Amino acid sequence: MSAQITMYSAAWCGDCRRSKRFLDSKKVAYNYIDIEADQAASDKVIEINGGMRSIPVIIFPDGTHMTEPSDKDLEAKLQALAIL
């Protein structure tokens, strides 16, 4: 699957740093969008999460997303998409 994974994130977010470390360790390519630097991205996160500004939000090539996933859940999703 060549479609891009997108992660909405922020430097101050511990869960974001963990998910970023996980993706990097698995050599998974993704598009990193800093919601602190991009107001439209921040608005999109709030829209996706029904009014909450919870991050990271990770968008997958199949159009689904995960908010604040554990490494285990993220790995299972990537395996289901045959990315890992």
pLDDT at 1 (0 to 100): 43
Topology of the domain comprising 5-80: Glutaredoxin (3.40.30)
pLDDT in 10s for each residue of the chain, 84 residues: 445 999 999 999 999 999 999 999 999 999 999 999 999 999 999 999 999 999 999 999 999 999 999 999 999 999 999 999
Phi-psi region of 38 (alpha: psi -120 to 50; beta: other; left: phi over 0): beta
Q: Where are the domains of the chain?
A: 5-80
pLDDT at 3 (0 to 100): 59
Cβ distance 81 to 60 under 8 Å?
Answer: yes
Give the whole-angstrom CA distance, residue 77 versus residue 50.
22
Within 8 A by CB and 6+ apart from 19, the residues are 7, 9, 56, 58, 69, 71, 74
pTM of the model: 0.93
pLDDT at 61 (0 to 100): 95
